[in-house]
Structure formats: C-alpha cells, structure tokens
Structure 1
C-alpha cells in the first residue's frame, strides 16, 4: 500500500506541475494579451474581477497551480526525508506497540527514487541494533519492521532463546566493536520483569539484551518451544545458524516468540531497505472489548508517555 501511495504522489506531482507549466508558458501570455487589449480600450483601470471575466484561468490550471507546491513538498519530504508508518502488530514489543505511529528516516541507508527504488546516492548502512523498515523479501508490496541483528559476513546462532554472534572481521582483526573475532559471542541478557506483558494467559519475560554499543528490551515466552522446523534452512549451516550474505542483513523482532522474521525467511537485501525508525510521533490505545459500542479500530486513549525517540 505504501508503494502505491508513493507512485500516486509522484503522478499527482508530475501531473499538476506539467499542467501548471503548460498554462504558464502557453496560455497565461495569451490571457495577459487579452487583458492588455481590454485595458487599452478602457478609460479606467480594470479591477481583478473584470480581468478574470475577460481572460479567465481554466479551473484545471487554477487547481494545478494551487496544489502543485503542496503536493511537491509532501512528495519530496515523504520520498527522501521522513515517511510515517503505523505499527500493525506486536512483533516489535516492547519497543514498539500496536497503535504506535512512527517516523522513518528515509535517507539513512541511501537516497532512492520513489517509484523504481533504484539507488541515487549512497549514504550509510544499517548498524547492528538499528530498527529498520524494509520491503518483505517474499512480497515486496509489504513493509516489515524489525531490528538489525546480523551484518554482512556475520554468523548468527539463535539457540535456547539466546543470540550468539560471530562477527565478520578483516584479516588480523581481533575485535569487531565489543565482539571478539573468530568466536561466537553470547549476547548478554538480564531479566527486567515477568508480569508486564502476556501472550494469552502466559506471562512474557522482559529482558535487557545488550548488542555491542546498544542495549534494548526484548520479550521471551519461556513456555514456547523453538520452532526450528520452520526456520529458514541455509545450505551448509545448522537449523538454527545463519551466515549473512554480502549486501544483506539478518533481522529479528523484539517479541522473539511472536515474530515472523529472518529466522523463518532468511535475509534482507540492501536494495529492500526503506529507512531507519527514529521517532514515535503518536501512540493510540485500542481497548474496545466485545461489548463496546465502538468499532475496534477507534482509539480509546493516547499514550503520551511513549512519544519521542526510538531506542
């Protein structure tokens, strides 16, 4: 849907701009000529209403002139600077909740054209821990949001609900950030609480997970079995192990037992990256129960405490 909207904005911008330009270059001079002739034949100056009656601007040209600056500004802002997204599921809990409205920084990983999404300018690459919006590799019409866990060349293991990362290192390098090269580095985990979030009747454990240079919270369901039979099987690796290809990334949701992520479908190519999630600008609660007179999509409150930068 977001892709179709981008194309629609570009079409509206080009269409209104072309109409305004043709009118400005071809028809506006003819209108000014008619007004000048009428002014020369008149003994008194013509007011604006009279000029409009003598040489009226076509409605389509007037409309294009009015909307073009606004549509062009929206298109540029949304395509190259920031794009708003709504969080539709709980796969990124507790970091992002259903009802959060976020801004995604579009230029973080390169400037792309809004229609074909071809790279126009190289800017940067995701860092481990970044929350990224990307085109779902199995259906690029769909936008996904997950956290970057593996960088190109990394070897990732997810076993017994814990991450192990062997970072990609250059020859002779001993460390990559805070991780030792040539070793599987167990990502540190610290329990925060056990009774804040629930999946049905089962409480989820909130854990502080410390990736190099960045700590964030995740949710674990201790009762849920690891679905290794559903994991993406990369040739030459174990069922719970993946080697990230060049120009690709391994993404996971923070709600580890309720997230369809790279464990199930593999890697995100660089060209699928949309941008970095940086800010929550609105957050709605949806607590309409089955007995409520309001539809489930009507907000019941605003979570003002959630507004701000995304960690």
Structure 2
C-alpha cells in the first residue's frame, strides 16, 4: 500500500480528541449557560458532536491495529502456495514488540523473529551504490527495481522509498551466513532440506496459477528450522539472483533479517534488495480470515478461511 493508514488513524484520533477536548475545556459551559438562559434545548455544534462520537471509535481501532492485530490483503503471488492472491490475513502486532503507531518506534520489546516466520514489514527500498560507493536505498515496487547504472550505481534521479507493506518468510537471522543458489538454500553450512509433494495444481483462468502451470511448477515441503511449510519451484522460469552477490553479502548484518517468498522463482526479495532492518518490522502473519479468488474464478474460497499461517 502507498499510504500509511496508521498515520491517518493517528491524525484523526488527535484531531477529534483536540476538538472535543478544547470545546469541553473552554466553550461548553458558556454555550450551555447561554442556551439555558434562552430556554433553548442544548445541542453541540456539528463539528463537536461528530468529534465526540467518532473519537472513541477511531481510538479503539487505532489501538487494536497498532498493538493487537492488523488486517492485510495479499496483492501478489510471491508467497504462493502458502498465501494466495486475494487472501486476507491477520498480523500479530505485538509478536516482535510494541511500536508507536505511524512512527513504528519500538517502546517495548516482546520477542524477535524466528527462522520460518512469515513477517509483514515496511519495504526498505532497493539497494544501489551512491557516488561514494556506499550502499544506499532507492524506491521501487514489486514490479521490479529501478534501472541501475554501471557497477550497481544509484540512478541520477533517485526515487524516494514509499511506505509499502510487503510480506515474506524469514530465512536468515542476524549473524547467519546464508548462501542461495536458485532454490537451494544453505544456512551456516547446512543445506535446507525439502521433500517433493507433487506438481502444482491450479486454475489456468487465474494469472498467478497460469504462470506456475506454464512453467511446470512443483510443490515442495521445506524444512526450515522447526517450521515445515510449502514452497513452489519453477526452475524453467528464470535463474534467480544468488546470494552472495555484488550488493547482498552472505552474512546477515546485525538487527537485520534475510527474507524470501515461498514462490521461489517469482519473488523480489532479499536476494535483490538485501535484508529487512529490525526497525521496519510490522508483525507476524498468523491467520487467513478471508480468501477471495475473484469473480468467475472461484469467488470466496471457504476452504482457506481460518487457516493458520506457518
């Protein structure tokens, strides 16, 4: 998403609270006394009445979204087959610590991501090298990074990094040494094991399924630490970016997490733009509460509703 809904909620909460509060402190008594003296029925002015009614509602929504659970919609197929396009998920906002709404500053530590967690985070931007050769971040989206110059140089007109929420799976923890060669992942010298489940089965009328079917995708159960989850492989589609590469080292920096999509050949992830800083984490996905496959291609998928994300 290109706007920060938490910031909007915070702004509305402050606005309604200030209007209602200032009115009660400085204007309410005089207005009521004047209307009582005139024998008229008391009514709040429309802005005050709206602020008084909406302030508690917006405040509760803000608190729930910021500190308990927040809904997200899956916009792309990068996490298939675990999460499908049109899945609506709930994200645990206190799994990795409580953060101030809109500012995302952690004020209470609760836990840290574990290998295999499906995390939502603010996209940190694509990596490139500035004029001095140091790593920098530039904007872009899931359609791809901006065109870089020779030697991975940042474009002259550097795009600002927009506020977008992305979702991927944690592969590498801070301090891990991770190597990625196509679909093969090696963590601290140990290959990540996966067992073949079978060919991908989908609906060719859906673009995301059609691509997987066109490239003969297979589904595997990957054993990532204590988490066993499904991934899709399409080795015929394209060679994926290896790790390490010219921008992404094999060692995961401190306070950073290397993440990848479960659709391994169709995911722009840490292989292209590096690790996710801890400060960018938004929460841990834990439940699919709705799944919409589109008109004429399945509608509501009731079989996915209530599925635990792991």
Equivalence for 1:69: 56
Match of 1:154 among 176, 179, 202: 176
Q: For structure 2, list consecutive stretches of 5 or more residues without a partner in the other structure.
A: 126-160, 203-209
Q: Is the 8 A contact 2:178 2:243 kept in 1?
A: no
Equivalence for 1:208: 221
Equivalence for 2:309: 310
Q: Which has the bigger relative contact order, CA under 8 A and spacing at least 6? A: 2
Once residues 232 and 160 of structure 1 are traced to their aligned partners in structure 2, the CA distance between those partners, rounded to angstroms, is 13
2:220 equivalent to 1:190: no
Structural mapping, 1:1-311, within 5 Å: 1=1, 3-34=3-34, 37=37, 51-52=40-41, 55-138=42-125, 139-166=161-188, 184-197=189-202, 198=210, 199=212, 201-228=214-241, 232-234=245-247, 242-288=250-296, 301-308=299-306, 309-311=308-310
**1:196 counterpart SS class:** coil
Once residues 225 and 56 of structure 1 are traced to their aligned partners in structure 2, the CA distance between those partners, rounded to angstroms, is 67
Following superposition, the deviation at residue 57 of structure 1 comes to: 1.6
Q: Is the 8 A contact 1:129 1:147 kept in 2?
A: yes
**1:65 counterpart SS class:** helix
Following superposition, the deviation at residue 149 of structure 1 comes to: 0.4
CA RMSD of aligned residues (A): 2.2
Once residues 3 and 66 of structure 2 are traced to their aligned partners in structure 1, the CA distance between those partners, rounded to angstroms, is 10
**Greater displacement, 201-210 / 28-37:** 28-37
The structure with the largest strand share of the pair is 1
Give TM-score, length-normalised by structure 1. 0.79
**2:303 counterpart SS class:** helix
**2:163 counterpart SS class:** coil
Following superposition, the deviation at residue 141 of structure 1 comes to: 1.2
Following superposition, the deviation at residue 307 of structure 1 comes to: 1.4
Q: Whose Rg is larger?
A: 1
List, as ranges, runs of 4+ consecutive aligned residues in structure 1 with deviation greater than 4 Å: 35-38, 229-232
Q: Is the 8 A contact 2:215 2:234 kept in 1?
A: yes
**1:71 counterpart SS class:** helix
Equivalence for 1:174: none
Once residues 199 and 11 of structure 2 are traced to their aligned partners in structure 1, the CA distance between those partners, rounded to angstroms, is 50
**1:12 counterpart SS class:** helix
